[in-house]
Amino acid sequence: MKAIPLSLQNAGSQTLGSQRSGSSGLRSQLLGYGLLGGTLLALLSAPFAHAAPAHQAPPSLHVQAQSWVEVEPNKATLNARLWENTPALSTLEGSDSSALSDARERLESRASELIEKMEATGLERNAINAGSLNVYPEHIQGPRNEDGEHETLQRTRLERPITVELTDLDQLSEVLDALIAAGVNSLDGVQFDLQDRDAATDEALVKALEKAQHKANLMADSLDAELGHVKRIEETQSPIFQPQMMSMRAESDAAGASQSAATSDYSPGTIRIDAGVNVVWALKGPNAPGRPGSDVAAQE
């Protein structure tokens, strides 16, 4: 084995020592950079950590309220019918065209007479509507035949609906009496309504909103909180409008003085309109209940 010169051994030792020293210095430098980066990251993230709760939604108050209004009707619609029948014939016999024509002439004459009587009460012509002609075949039970069975007879009914609209309810009694006096075959009742529905539905909606506001103030005061801005408003139901119907059905066979007196006694009552709302308020102030983002709800 050859001996390594001492100068080479010293040089190698110096080189190895330099490599170890450089590696240790690099590690120290990287460690220092890591500590510095972590410190900077902590300093930069601290403001965002403190600011995060400010971006959360404030607590909310949900209130649901219903209300209604009752309004006296100021409009009435009367529905009546006139009809004429052809003679009842056996189904084995053919139809009689002249009988159909005669029934129609009688019906048109009665309709014209009725309109004249309505106008005599002070009604305008456009308040009276005589509907189109309707034709219905009818089968009725006839007398017994030789075998003891009822024979089926056939006839034709010609009918015209009559509609009268009143904007002055003081005329109602007089118009009802005039309809019966004119000989209507059927009086199908009176429907009470409002001339301006929008005004009544608006009033019901405003009352529901006012009730929601009252409930919200009451709840906030009880919780030592303060109402903020309105976040959402919605209708839980559209205003429900139900016209009032006065039941009255008079058939021609039973018409008479007693019916006329009965029609004079009527009561339109009131029409009820319901409305509902759902309103969400933000709550503010140090005493607002719950943590940010919490909700308080109230329903009826």
CATH 3.30.70.2970 correct for 75-193: yes
pLDDT number for residue 132: 92
127 touches 172 (CB < 8 A): no
Q: Which fold has domain 55-70+199-241+274-298?
A: Translation Initiation Factor IF3 (3.30.110)
For residue 287, what pLDDT is reported? 59
Checking 221-226 for CB contacts under 8 A at 24+ apart, the result is 223/287, 223/288, 223/289, 223/296, 224/285, 224/287, 225/59, 225/61, 225/283, 225/284, 225/285, 225/287, 225/288, 225/289, 226/283, 226/284, 226/285, 226/288
Q: For the chain, which residues score pLDDT lower than 50? A: 1-21, 23, 26, 30-31, 34-37, 40-44, 46, 48-52, 252-263, 291
Res 150: pLDDT: 77
Q: What is the structure's pLDDT at 48?
A: 47
Domain range list for the chain: 55-70+199-241+274-298, 75-193
